[in-house]
A = this chain, B = another copy of it.
Amino acid sequence: LEETGPVPPGGLDTPYASVDLDVVQANIADMQSYSDDRGLSLRPHIKTHKLAALARMQVDAGAVGVACQKLAEVEAMVAAGIEDILVCYPVWGPEKLIRLCGLARQVRIAVAADSLAVAEGLAAAANRHGVMVGFLVECDTGLQRTGVQTAEEAAALARRVHELPSLRFDGLMTYPTGPNTQAMLTAAKAAIEQAGLEVPSVSAGGTESARTTHESSVVTELRAGTYIYGDRACVANGSVPLERCALRVHATVVSCPTAGRAILDAGSKTLSSDHAEGRGVPGYGLILERPGAVIDELFEEHARVILPPEESPLTLGDVVTIVPNHACGTTNMQNHVIVHRSGNAIGWWPIAARGGVR
Contacts and interface: CB of A to CB of B under 8 A. Distances in A.
Most B CB atoms within 10 A — which of A258, A300, A316? A300
Interface in A291-326: 297, 299-302, 304, 316-317
A93 B252 contact: yes
A117 B300 contact: no
Given A115-B256, A145-B302, A92 B355 contact: no
A58 to B, nearest CB: 19
A201 interface: no
Contacts of A115: 255-256, 316
A14 interface: yes
Would you call the interface of chain A mostly helix, strand, loop, or mixed? loop
Interface string A223-267: 000000000000000000000000000001011111001010100
A16 interface: yes
A104 to B, nearest CB: 18
A274 to B, nearest CB: 5
Contacts of A265: 89, 92, 358
A34 to B, nearest CB: 24
B149 A257 contact: yes
A84 interface: no
Nearest to A334: B356
A37 to B, nearest CB: 30
B355 A254 contact: no
Nearest to A269: B332
Interface residues of A, number: 65
Given A10-B95, A92-B316, A255 B356 contact: no
A335 B358 contact: no
Interface in A13-40: 13-17
B335 A13 contact: no
A92 B274 contact: no
B13 A146 contact: no
A300 B69 contact: yes
A168 interface: no
A261 B95 contact: no
B335 A114 contact: no
22 contacts: A15-B356, A15-B358, A17-B356, A47-B300, A69-B301, A92-B317, A117-B316, A118-B255, A144-B261, A144-B304, A145-B257, A145-B263, A145-B299, A146-B255, A147-B257, A148-B257, A300-B329, A334-B355, A334-B356, A335-B355, A351-B355, A354-B355
Given A69-B301, A89-B265, A334-B356, 13 more contacts: A13-B96, A15-B356, A69-B300, A92-B252, A115-B316, A117-B316, A144-B304, A146-B302, A265-B358, A269-B354, A300-B332, A333-B355, A335-B355
